[in-house]
Amino acid sequence: MYSAFMTTPERLIESTRELLWERGYVGTSPKAIQQRAGAGQGSMYHHFSGKPDLALTAIRRTAEELRAVAGSCLDSPGGAYDRVRAYLLREREVLRGCPIGRLTMDPDVMADPELRKPVDETLDWLRGRLAEVLAEGRERGEFTAGLAPEPIAATVVATVQGGYVLARAAGSAAPFDSAVEGLLTLLAAFKAPV
């Protein structure tokens, strides 16, 4: 239940965002959304055409939020290694998983091009942005020439996404932290000698 100071559509969107994160698209029913939002059925169908419409709005907002947070880590001043490190070590609710990445395992999301698009674009953007930071670092001589920006960027994003999987399986954030630690020591080997 949300504050009465939020409008009904706003409460519906926020409740959908939470449920998509917790239970995915397949596991989230309109009824559950309505109950969490404290809104009736008529209300939901007045503001949105149905479950897909509401989900699309929710996913887009979550995607934008993720871009903003990741972007602020990667745009920060400082060296390339430290910016990647900041992205990897940023505060996370590890056991909840990634609200965007988890949608890739949802068959109904992947089957709908509209729902799928923001998921694809967000992870693609993230990989691209990381590759830019790494390339910049290499050109500035912070990294050795052997560092290939695109594959390493994919490895960084994959480590985070897979870290969530390991953490959720274990019921503990430890494997996530361990995977990130491992990646950072590997990456540190490519720092050019000062």
In three-state secondary structure terms, 191 is strand
182 binds DNA (CB under 7 A): no
- CA distances for 138 relative to 78, 86, 87, 158, angstroms: 14, 18, 18, 21
> Does residue 47 belong to the site contacting DNA (CB under 7 A)?
yes
CB 140 within 8 A of CB 80: yes
Smallest separation, CB 16 to DNA (Å): 11
Stretch that binds DNA, among 41-49, 88-96, 140-148, 154-162 (CB under 7 A): 41-49
Determine phi and psi for 182, rounding to 5 degrees.
-60, -45
**Among 13, 19, 39, 167, which residue interacts with DNA (rule: CB under 7 A)?**
39
Determine if 41 is a binding residue for DNA (CB under 7 A).
yes
List beta partners, residue 191.
Answer: 143
SS3 52: helix
Residue at 140: amino acid letter: R
List residues binding its own copies (CB under 8 A).
22-24, 26-27, 97-98, 101-102, 104-108, 110, 116, 119-120, 123-124, 127, 146-148, 150-166, 168-171, 175-176, 178-183, 185-187, 189-190
Closest to DNA by CB, 52 or 162: 52
What is the dihedral sign for C-alpha 5, 7, 12, 16?
negative
Q: CB 148 → its own copies: shortest distance, Å?
A: 6
Least distance from its own copies to the Cβ atom of residue 12, Å: 20
- Least distance in Å: CB of 2 to its own copies? 21
For residue 40, the minimal CB distance to its own copies (Å) is 25
Q: Which of 24, 52, 71, 79 binds DNA (CB under 7 A)?
A: 52
Report the SS3 class of residue 183: helix
Given a contact cutoff of 8 angstroms between Cβ atoms, the answer to whether 94 and 173 are in contact is yes
Closest Cα to residue 30, out of 9, 52, 46?
52
Judged by the rule CB under 7 A, the positions of this chain that interact with DNA are: 8, 28-32, 39-43, 45-47, 49-52
